[in-house]
Structure 1
Amino acid sequence: MSDNEPDLYERGVVSPEAGADDRALDGALRPRMLEDFVGQDRVREQLSLVLRGAQSRGRAPDHVLMSGGPGLGKTTLAMIIANELGAPLRITSGPAIERSGDLAAVLSTLQEGEVLFLDEIHRMARPAEEMLYVAMEDFRVDVVVGKGPGATAIPLDIAPFTLVGATTRAGLLPAPLRDRFGFTAHVDFYRPEDLETIVRRSAGLLGVDLAPDAAQEVARRSRGTPRIANRLLRRVRDYAEVRGDGTLDRATARAALSLYEVDELGLDRLDRAVLDALLRRFRGGPVGLSTLAVSVGEEPETVEVVAEPFLVRAGFMARTPRGRVATPRAWEHMGLTPPDGAAG
């Protein structure tokens, strides 16, 4: 994370970004094969065809690009691709590729058929991006030796590999790079029933006796994101062990999530603060982003990147050319009556 980006971890339990605890447990909770992956039915079926077709031809499958929000399973799918192919997996990220030489060092050491997972591919340096074009198409990199007029480009063949790129901002990828992926998948937010299945599976792996109604409660407040669902499950487990008798039923789940300020629809303190300011102080809008952020004591980037995506997707807020506007659902959820002439 660069110095000028907002700290997305400050959201706590409903941040879709991976914290240290998430990374420590993700390996134990991730499914290993496609048949064990819950949700994303269309993507799973399409990916299965791509992999099976490549295996039947004895060739490396097409390069795969996955887009979607954080915490939706892009890294898990990359690991599943490698497992399904029986191939090694190399993991790196766009911010780690600062120069074309960094990419050349990675590509030149790949084994034949290896899967290279490049997370946050949209943040890769432009010179490395141009080198990647040739590597993806011709399995070759041009290594420049020397500087100035005497510089010489030496072509270096690399082993055929499969690139799996992941991005949360597909619009930032240049068209030439997108066009070189043979299969593109958009990983969407999960249905409540799929999240409930994920929560029950994770509870079993963690050795937690979770009641069905508690699993439903956790899934309902997980904002459509498996990473958040697993994090809420761990917080409910902690509450049951410390404050209760170890029983994980609906009442325990509700008490635990109330303690962590996650309401019935998954809104947390920042979400409610933004809505409260928009409704009470600005009569539902329209109001500019900077003004709204100042009113809740946050940076504009934090409100725009951290709070707004869920509020817009859940139907509480709309972005208009004149500014942010509250919807009728926001007034209803906050228990307020719109004044005459209120926006929305």
Structure 2
Amino acid sequence: MSGFSSEIRLGDEGAERAGDGSYEATARIVDAAAGEDDAAVEAALRPRRLADFPGQTKVREQLGLVLEAARRRGAAPDHVLLSGPPGLGKTTLAMIVAAELEQPIRVTSGPAIQHAGDLASVLSSLAEGEVLFLDEIHRMSRAAEEMLYLAMEDFRVDVVVGKGPGATAIPLELPPFTVVGATTRAGLLPAPLRDRFGFTGHLDFYEDADLEVILARSARLLQVPAHEEGIAEIARRSRGTPRIANRLLRRVRDWAEVHGAGRVDLDAAGRALALFDVDEVGLDRLDRAVLDALCRRFAGGPVGLSTLAVAVGEETETVETVAEPYLVRQGYVSRTPRGRVATTAAWEHLGLAVPEGGQPELPWSDPGRLGD
């Protein structure tokens, strides 16, 4: 079996590790200013209840309805699938589901479950009503997925004893439980697994106003004096992502404590974010390197993804999953059949003259020359 984590019951001192690698976590808020590392601080900043979860109005209302109906029936709610880019609150919502149901939560991840036995070990230890959170669920092994189908639908797993013609399948009944799956790539989930989720919520990037609410709350928990102008500046550069917003807040706090007056104001935010290579629209070093390569080295494109990755010294997957989504969403890069193309906004952002004729013509007329 592949071991994969620890057993943690947030709220208990001294968590114990579980042999199957999963861990229990009951959401709570801890003292975020007590010298915890970044991961612990990030966990401490998570809201505990659905009413405290800012943004994602539609998903929040839909999920609240599902949970309230289940509470009134006294039954486990339907399985929940949460999809969307990293850092938008999928794990936080999973913790909130358990808190709203007043049930413990067992946490594991798709990459950690490489054999059906790994999943069987986790499932067989679940208590009635417990929440099982599967992060990156699209990366589970095929054998584990097939076992999960049966467990989610019939609350039963078949444990195979022996090998070959003499193998025997022993059915193991499971108490009702709720699976909360999280994925950044919902398209990779097989249809039979996706269809077994009774509720699917897609998380979108946040508006600046919602990020300001999140940052103001985080500043209070971190016990950092913060001005509205400083909070607004951080929110504007956070790429619509709460995880990035909270990380930038901590870096601005550090700068303010070392070089400033100990408060997060507009001046501290501007100076700190400049130090950490986050520009006025939230682009970081990698984003600007991609735009610079497109405009300066390849005259605006089109250029294939792998060529672009080599030019900036990064892996292809890093450019495609980390930098490109935000650049495309903000209108700096276009994806065409022949490759990536820098838009007029990209040239202007870098302070470069736009080529004669403006943005290069999109090469739809030559579908035989596809970019990678």
TM range (shorter): over 0.9
Displacement after TM superposition at 1:176 (Å): 0.3
Aligned residue number for residue 157 of structure 2 = 141
Match of 2:70? 54
TM-score (norm 2): 0.86
TM-aligned CA deviation for residue 293 of structure 1: 1.9
Answer yes or no: is the 8 Å Cα contact 2:334–2:342 preserved in 1.
Answer: yes
Partner of 2:235: 219
CA distance in 2, matches of 1:110, 1:51: 19
Corresponding residue SS for 1:107:
helix
Identity of aligned residues (%): 73
Tell me if 1:193 matches 2:204: no
State the distance in 1 between where 2:222 and 2:310 align: 42
* Matched residue, 2:60: 44
Superposed CA deviations along residues 93-132 of structure 1, whole A, max 9, x for unmatched, are 0011111011111111100000000000000010010000
Matched, 1:343 2:360: yes
Residue identity matched to 1:343:
P
- The correspondence for 2:134, drawn from 118, 140, 155, is 118
Q: Which amino acid aligns with 2:360?
A: A
Aligned residues of 1:79 and 1:89 also touching (Cα < 8 A): yes
Specify the code of the residue in structure 2 equivalent to 1:170: A
Counterpart mapping for 1:1-344 below 5 A: 21-341=37-357, 342-343=359-360
Find the residue that maps to 1:101 and give its secondary structure. Answer: helix
**Stretches of structure 1 lacking an aligned partner (at least 5 in a row):** 1-19
Preserved contact between residue 42 and residue 246 of structure 2 (Cα < 8 Å): no
Q: Secondary structure at the match of 2:129?
A: coil
CA RMSD of aligned residues (A): 1.2
Amino acid in structure 1 at the alignment position of 2:112: A
Superposition deviation, residue 298 in structure 1:
2.3
| TM-aligned CA deviation for residue 319 of structure 1 | 0.9
Report the alpha carbon displacement of residue 21 of structure 1 after superposing the two structures with TM. 4.2
Indicate conservation of the 8 Å contact 1:122/1:173, yes or no: yes
Task: Write the letter of the residue equivalent to 1:99.
Answer: H
Equivalent pairs counted in the alignment come to 325
The residue identity in structure 1 corresponding to 2:332 is: F
Give the Cα–Cα distance (whole angstroms) in 2 for the partners of residues 186 and 212 of structure 1: 30
Asked whether the 8 Å contact 1:71–1:226 carries over to 2, the reply is yes
Q: CA contact under 8 A between 1:283 and 1:338: conserved in structure 2?
A: no
Q: Distance in 2 between matches of 1:45 and 1:265?
A: 31
- The residue type paired with residue 228 of structure 1 is I
Q: Give the partner amino acid of 2:299.
A: R
Structure 2 SS opposite 1:55: helix
Does 63-72 or 284-293 show the bigger shift?
A: 284-293
> What amino acid is the match of 2:223?
G
Distance 1:326 1:21, change over 3 A: farther
Match of 1:17 in 2: none
Question: Which residue type is aligned with residue 232 of structure 1?
Answer: L
Displacement of 1:288 after TM fit?
1.1
Query: AA paired with 1:52?
Result: E
3-state SS of 2:246 partner? helix
| Aligned equivalents of 1:225, 1:306: Cα separation in 2 | 12
Secondary structure of the residue aligned to 2:108 is strand
Q: Which amino acid aligns with 1:227?
A: R
Instruction: Give structure 2 stretches of 5+ with no counterpart.
Output: 1-35, 362-372
Relative contact order higher in (CA < 8 Å, ≥ 6 apart) = 1
Going by fraction, where is helix more abundant, 1 or 2?
Answer: 1
- TM-score, reference length from structure 1: 0.92
1:269 CA drift (Å): 1.0
Q: Aligned partners of 2:162 and 2:325: how far apart in 1?
A: 47
Range that drifts further, 170-179 or 269-278: 269-278
